[in-house]
Amino acid sequence: MLKASVKSGPVDDVLIIGAGLAGLFLALRLSPRPCTIISPSPLGTNASSAWAQGGLAAALDPQDSPAAHAADTVAAGAGLVDPIMAHLIAKDGPARILDLLELGVPFDRTPKGALALSLEAAHSRPRIARVAGDLAGQAIMQALTQAARQSPSIHLIENAKAVSLLQDAQGRISGVITQDTEARTSPRLARETVLSTGGLGGLYSVTTNPASAKGDALAMAAEAGALLSDTEFVQFHPTALDVGLDPAPLATEALRGAGARLCNKNGMPFMSAYHSDAELAPRDVVARAIELERASGRGAFLDARIAIGADFETRFPTVFDACQKAGFDPREKLMPIAPAAHYHMGGIVSDSWGRASLDGLSVCGECASTGLHGANRLASNSLLEAVVFAERIAQRLKGDRLADPKDAHGNIPRQLPPSVFQALRVHMSKSCGIVRHGEGLADFLNWLAEMDEAYGPNQASLVARLIAEPALAREESRGGHHRLDYPDSLVPMRSYIQYRQGHIHIDKG
Of residues 418, 508, 432, the one with CA closest to residue 463:
432
CA distances from 146 to 49, 118, 270, 384 (A): 15, 27, 45, 20
SS3 content of the chain, % helix, strand, coil (to 5): 35, 25, 40
Neighbours of 501 (CB within 10 A): 5
Secondary structure (DSSP) of 425-487: HHHHHHHSSSSB-HHHHHHHHHHHHHHHHHH--BHHHHHHHHHHHHHHH--S-BTTB-BTTB-
The DSSP result for 273-305, as a single string, is GT-TTGGGS-HHHHHHHHHHHHHTTS--EEE-T
Does 355 qualify as catalytic in the annotation?
no
Helix ranges (DSSP H) in 77-131: 83-102
Strands of 102-198 (E only): list them. Answer: 117-118, 128-129, 154-158, 160-167, 173-180, 185-195
Helix (H) or strand (E) holding 30: helix 21-30
Q: Looking at 130, 283, 377, 483, which residue is catalytic?
A: 283
**What burial class does residue 2 get, using C-beta atoms within 10 Å of its C-beta: 0-12 exposed, 13-18 middle, 19+ buried?**
exposed
What residues are annotated to the active site? 283
